[in-house]
Amino acid sequence: MNTYYAANLLIYAGIDIIACLALNLQFGVSGIVNFSFIVFQAVGAYAAAILSLPPDTANGGFQHYVGGLQLPFPVPWIGGAIAGGLLAIPVGFVVLRKLRSDYQAIALLVLSVIANTVITNADKFLGGAAGLALVPPPLSDRIDPNTESYQYLYIGITAVAVVIAFAVVNRVVNSPYGRSLRAMREREIAAASIGKNPVNLKMTIFIVGGVIAGLSGAILVGFIQIWAPSVWLYPETIILFAAIIVGGRGNNIGAILGALLVPVGFEEVTRLLNSNPNIANLGPPNLISALQWVAIGLLILGFLWFRPQGVRPEPRRVFEGGPD
């Protein structure tokens, strides 16, 4: 296993873990079916890209975008996280205040489609369908990104981000606030009857999840150094939902396990199958990639039917109270 391959696998695993922790906070713990999750990751990536890129007149002016501030690390990553949180405010205000949970899911799915279509056709804003290229990797002015040392550095920075995200999410889930979120998820009317405000709970956790999603997008764009609408289509959110369902909804360890099994695992299996000419040439082009989506769909249905609690179920606390 060469260094670049190992680094690629570990960094993608870290990014997927951060994204799954954020989605688990919204969907698994709070019950918000955020089908537009990939949009918040994309906003974080775009924000980090334009904060780290030079003005669009550089490199021959072959791409057009706003910004181009060329700010040093870690400002682009922080900016990406903030952008994800800021986007969550108007979206949550429109979607979460008046709509029921099933209509919220539909509205968020529509938002994902609209956002992708708008960015694709607004070529002067963020590069249009071509997206943004030549995004400077973090600290590339000090360390050559093509060296093994830089690969180890990026793995380390990503690992730190994973630890921070896990610590934040774990603190929320195991706090009294987290118990309020689970109460809202199970019975929103009952939670409201004991003085909890479901709208405020949803808005707050929607923003927190948006911040973490934006951070995952910032890390991703810094690694792959390119970002375009074709990489954040709404089916990408389904993969993350599959990870939460498989790992265990409402369980942070389960979210990490699901991230390793589904986004990372399926991508790796697909890559290995495509690299085998005897298997890759069995059918039409892109057959294996298409079958990957079929397998993910069957995986979701199988777990929902036979083990809806996932591989690692959400921990339940039973309190024995009252005098004998």
Return d(Cα 64, Cα 56) in angstroms, integer: 6
- 246, part of any domain: no
- Give residue 268's pLDDT: 78
245 occurs within a structural domain: no
Average pLDDT, the chain: 89
Q: How far apart are CA 150 and CA 74, in angstroms?
A: 16
Q: How much is the pLDDT for 270?
A: 73
CA distance 61 to 48: 19
Structural domain containing residue 133: 3-233
Residue with tokens 């180890």: 152
Assigned domain for 243 exists: no
pLDDT at residue 323 in the model: 47
Length of the chain: 324
Within-domain flag for 271: no
Contacts (Cβ under 8 Å, ≥6 apart) of 185: 29, 30, 31
Residue 265 in domain: no
| pLDDT of amino acid 263 | 87
Residue 283 confidence (pLDDT): 65
The C-alpha atoms of residue 242 and residue 37 are separated, in whole angstroms, by: 13
Q: What are the phi and psi torsion angles at 227 (to 5°)?
A: -150, 130
pLDDT of the residue at 324: 45
- Quote the pLDDT of residue 317: 66
β-pair partners for 133: 226
How many Å apart are CA 200 and CA 89, to the nearest integer? 11
Tokens found for residue 222: 């810094």
Whether residue 117 lies inside any domain: the answer is yes
Q: Which residue has the tokens 């970002």?
A: 227
Say how many domains are in the chain: 1
Q: Using CA atoms, how far apart are residues 63 and 55, in angstroms rounded to an integer?
A: 10
* pLDDT of amino acid 274: 67
Question: Which pLDDT value is given to residue 322?
Answer: 47
Q: How many CA atoms lie within 13 A of 106 on its CB side?
A: 5
pLDDT of residue 278: 64
Q: How confident is the chain (324 residues) per 10-residue block, as mean pLDDT? A: 81 96 95 95 97 87 87 95 96 89 91 94 88 93 90 95 96 92 89 88 96 97 94 90 94 94 82 67 69 85 92 74 48
Residue 26 maps to a domain? yes
- Cβ-based neighbour number of residue 116 at 10 Å: 19
The reply to whether 320 falls in a domain is: no
